Chains A and B, each alone.
Chain A
Amino acid sequence: MKRFSRKRSLGDSIFSITNGIFMLLVMVVTLYPFLNTIAVSFNNGLDTIRGGIYLWPREWTLQNYVSVFQNPNLTQAAFISVARTVVGTVVQLFCTAMLAYVLSRKEYMFNKLVTTLFVMTMYFSGGLIPGYMLIKQVGLLNSFWVYIIPGLIGVFNMIVIRTYIQGLSEGLIESAKMDGAGDFRIFMRIVLPLSKPVLATVALFIAVGQWNSWFDSMLYTAGNRNLTTLQYELMKLLSSATSQGGTVNVDSFKNVTNMVTPVSIRAAITVVTAMPIVLLYPFLQKYFVTGLTIGGVKE
């Protein structure tokens, strides 16, 4: 192919250039809103209202962030968000992987039945109200564990891991069995270490899901301010400001200075909430593309 590259036609070059420009445009459209939000978050709140802040702050200030971090509600919410992300990721990853291992064993007697039971839940559920009543009945309402237990198994993630495990060498597992290892031991000592790429992918999915979720917080823990998450607190601030055209209750932030406005506070919290993901994901990206392609659409 390389040999012909000199003979590229004019049309070909025009296509390449247009395509390149289009891709730059895609990047601008994707990145600009972030960069703008970051710029606003570092800009003096009152000055922002005058408009004209694009990619760079005009009047630098850290006041917005100081206000955010001095708000006791938000620091508590951030703690809960971190806690649920860490605990949730570890527990859910382990449970999902263990079930995936069991269902990857062809000799497992209830393989088909259990697989069907889990896959079915991808397509329907009891619904919001019956689900809420169940959570209430089992005593998870206003408890930290409501973030962990109901999501113990992610069915899609389970299928992705199972597909990966099925691709591992069967001989390895057979020979471990010959040596007298039980299934649990094989799972812990052989399958888990060999599945690192797919586990990293799924861990990213679970962590992002945990970090981003707010609906469970609104539904199940709104009665207990000590358990709400960062996203939910952000949602309360945003929904009071953005769409209704009303104003955020900034009084709780005003003890520091009167330089903050709803817009600047919103930008600062958005940056704080998005930052962990933005920082983490480039490192895990190389895993998820391969991980997903393996698990893929199949089944």
Chain B
Amino acid sequence: MAKKELQPSLKTSHIPAGTSWIGYNLSRMKSQRQLMWMSFPFIAFIAIFAYGPLWGWLMAFQNYRPGIGFMEQDWVGLDHFRTLFTDPTFLRVIRNTLAMSLISLFLGFVGSIGLALLLNELRMILFKRVVQTVSYLPHFLSWIIVTGIVANVLSTETGIVNVLLTKLGLIDAPINFFAEPKYFWGIVGLSSMWKEIGWGTIIYLAAMASINPSLYEAASIDGAGRFRKMFNVTLPSIKPTIIILLIINVGNVLNAGFEIQYLLGNGLVQDVSETIDIFVLKYGINLGNYSLATAAGIFKSVVSLVLIFIANGIAKSLGEERLI
């Protein structure tokens, strides 16, 4: 990885003698007024659309009722947070989010790294390219299409999985995969893996392409076979990439989980399928309990931010490039 270029320092020492700090900066602004004009709309945009809604966080500390001014609401302090953490539904929702997120994370990592290692060993370039093209494809399809396909593959009557299992004599009657809670997490994990495994290999393959070939030659001379080279040369060489991706994903543990669970979930598996985001949607938009839903949203944001800072700290202490 290339070293970061040194940014020209903006310290006061650069101010020419005889000019005031304000005067200096004003003249700089003037000299780059086109850049100022170009960036102004975007600063306004982010202020309104990204930072504006943060005011809404106050709702979590009120009994928000629509139609009344923001400051005239009843203030209730931490009541909603107390409700959340004593509510068995919410605790279950946290468990579901974590479980599905970690399963998908694990399967995604192992799957993508494994596939990348094997793709890297393919000698026929054309074949390699075809496999790659095919494996990227699901990444570009919406979860709606993918869940439709998953439902089709797992359907009781005509789904290929049930057909195969029956023909192989492994089961007597078709399994209704969407009616039993015990299958749900697995379905979510494998569906995510199916959708993203190919896409995940891109970054590893790029890392593998930059490995110095002399390492492989040296290993060959030492008598290493294909497997040994994979485990003792390729894998250690992409370790920094693996670590940095792992760290980035840690911060997203509570974020990973809305679309697929919302689309595949149903009344029968509700106890294992609902995630924090679905909880927020249900309480906020459907039931109109804005305050409680906002409190749940805040909890998620705060935990994610803390996780990112921890991950960032770990990255720094491991001597990897920092994220933020």
The answer to whether A and B assemble together is yes
Query: CB within 8 Å of B: which residues of A?
Result: 1, 4, 9, 11-12, 15-16, 19-20, 22-23, 26-27, 29-34, 36-37, 40, 48-49, 51-54, 95, 98-99, 101-103, 105-110, 114, 117-119, 121, 123-134, 138, 149-150, 152-153, 182-184, 187, 208, 211-215, 219, 231, 234-235, 238-239, 242-245, 263, 266-267, 270, 273-274, 277-278, 281-282, 285, 289, 292-293, 296-299
B82 at the interface (CB under 8 A from A): no
**A244:B266 contact, CB within 8 angstroms:** yes
Partner of B46, one of A32, A108, A117, A296: A117
Q: In whole angstroms, what is the CA distance A121 to B49 when docked? A: 10
Residues of B within 8 A of A245 (CB): 176, 178-179, 266
Which residues on A sit within 8 Å (CB–CB) of B220? 4
Contact A273 B145 (CB under 8 A): yes
CA distance A146 to B135 in the complex (A): 33
A51 engages B244 (CB within 8 Å): no
A277 touches B141 (CB 8 A): yes
Given A128-B285, A153-B46, are A133 and B56 neighbors across the interface (CB < 8 Å)?
yes
| Contacts A31-B134, A219-B285, A242-B148 given; does A127 touch B298 at CB 8 Å | yes
Give Cα A74–Cα B156 distance, bound, in whole angstroms: 28
> Is the Cβ of B178 less than 8 Å from the Cβ of A243?
yes
Once the chains are docked, how many angstroms separate the CA of A199 from the CA of B133?
20
Q: A12-B226, A106-B8, A110-B39 are in contact. Are A36 and B49 (CB under 8 A)?
A: no
* A128 x B293 contact (CB < 8 A): yes
For the complex, is B84 an interface residue (Cβ under 8 Å from A)? no
Task: Judge whether A281 and B53 touch: CB under 8 Å.
Answer: no
**Interface size (B, Cβ < 8 Å)?**
103
On B, residues with C-beta under 8 Å from A are: 1, 7-8, 10, 25, 28-29, 32, 34-35, 37-39, 42-43, 45-46, 48-57, 59, 115, 118-119, 121-123, 127, 130-131, 133-138, 140-145, 147-153, 157-158, 160, 163, 176, 178-179, 194, 198, 202-203, 206, 217, 220, 225-227, 241, 244-245, 248, 251, 258-259, 263-267, 277, 280-281, 284-285, 290, 293-294, 297-298, 300-301, 304-305, 308, 321, 323-324
- Consensus secondary structure, chain A interface: helix
Residues of A within 8 A of B280 (CB): 127-129
- Give chain B residues whose Cβ lies under 8 Å from the Cβ of A109: 10, 25, 28-29, 32
Query: For B298, what are the chain A residues with a Cβ–Cβ distance below 8 Å?
Result: 127
Whether A234 pairs with B39 at a CB distance below 8 angstroms is no
Q: Which residues of A contact B153 (CB under 8 A)?
A: 33, 36
Q: Please give, as numbers and ranges, the residues of chain A lying within 8 Å of B267 by CB-CB distance.
A: 244
